[in-house]
A and B are shown apart, each in its own frame.
Chain A
């Protein structure tokens, strides 16, 4: 298996622009997680899905952020409009069943810089 795939790997944009991050989870994994990592705040969970349904979005910072999972093999995280404080590494992770201790497999991340 190719693992969790994220695109783009790097994104540089200007404040006010829309940013869309993409994730393809490992085939067969029912859980998908979006994280954000910064030096100041560390690694934070933004939202997670189970069987394409959002379960917990309490980590989504504000209405500028939205996430969708239209099918089992694809998810997007959108920021509109983007701001410099959104600059971070965004990770997508997937898991078979975290309740059974199944590990969350992280993708390589998207490094976002908002100027």
Chain B
């Protein structure tokens, strides 16, 4: 089992809808969780990070963490075509800055 699991997609949503991206992980010792966005042919860029159980909101983005169920999700409200990209979930442990990435979910927002 891979350490970080993501559905590869593509996840297709209409413009203005809520896009929900999910990620599960196997290591209960994981402490920090990150969502990166990567446009085709470009480098990853951080969207959000979350440490604590619950929700964290930043503009149109909400990260949700449930450590008991070992999943983290990213909600994108009012999705725009410019949100079309691959979204990478990543995590790190307690004593290391080593990030472990999922394979990413490709999101398509239809105009």
Interface residues on A, range: 20 to 34
How many angstroms from the CA of A49 to the CA of B96 in the assembled complex?
A: 12
Contacting residues, chain B, for A107 (C-beta < 8 A) = 43
Contacting residues, chain A, for B32 (C-beta < 8 A) = 101
Contacting residues, chain B, for A45 (C-beta < 8 A) = 98-100
How many angstroms from the CA of A45 to the CA of B88 in the assembled complex?
A: 14
- Closest residue on chain B to residue A58 by CB atoms: B98
For B44, give its contact among A58, A101, A106 (CB under 8 Å).
A106
The number of chain B residues with a CB under 8 A from chain A is 19
Contacting residues, chain B, for A55 (C-beta < 8 A) = 97
For B101, give its contact among A44, A56, A108 (CB under 8 Å).
A44
How many angstroms from the CA of A42 to the CA of B6 in the assembled complex?
A: 11
A41-59 near B? 1/0 per residue, CB < 8 Å: 0111100100000011011
Q: Is the CB–CB distance between A98 and B101 below 8 Å?
A: no
Instruction: Choose, from B15-23, B45-53, B62-70, B77-85, the stretch at the interface.
Output: B45-53
Considering residues B46, B49, B97, which has the most beta carbons from chain A within 10 angstroms of its beta carbon?
Answer: B97
- Output the least CB separation between A39 and chain B (Å): 9
Q: Is the CB–CB distance between A31 and B97 below 8 Å?
A: yes
- Output the least CB separation between B30 and chain A (Å): 14
- Output the least CB separation between B32 and chain A (Å): 7
Q: Return 28 A-B CB contacts under 8 Å, by A number.
A: A31-B97, A33-B99, A42-B101, A42-B103, A43-B44, A43-B88, A44-B101, A45-B99, A48-B98, A56-B97, A56-B98, A58-B98, A59-B98, A91-B43, A95-B97, A98-B92, A99-B97, A101-B49, A101-B51, A103-B49, A104-B46, A104-B99, A106-B44, A106-B45, A107-B43, A108-B42, A108-B43, A109-B43
B residues whose Cβ falls under 8 Å from a Cβ of A: 32, 42-46, 49, 51, 88, 92, 96-104
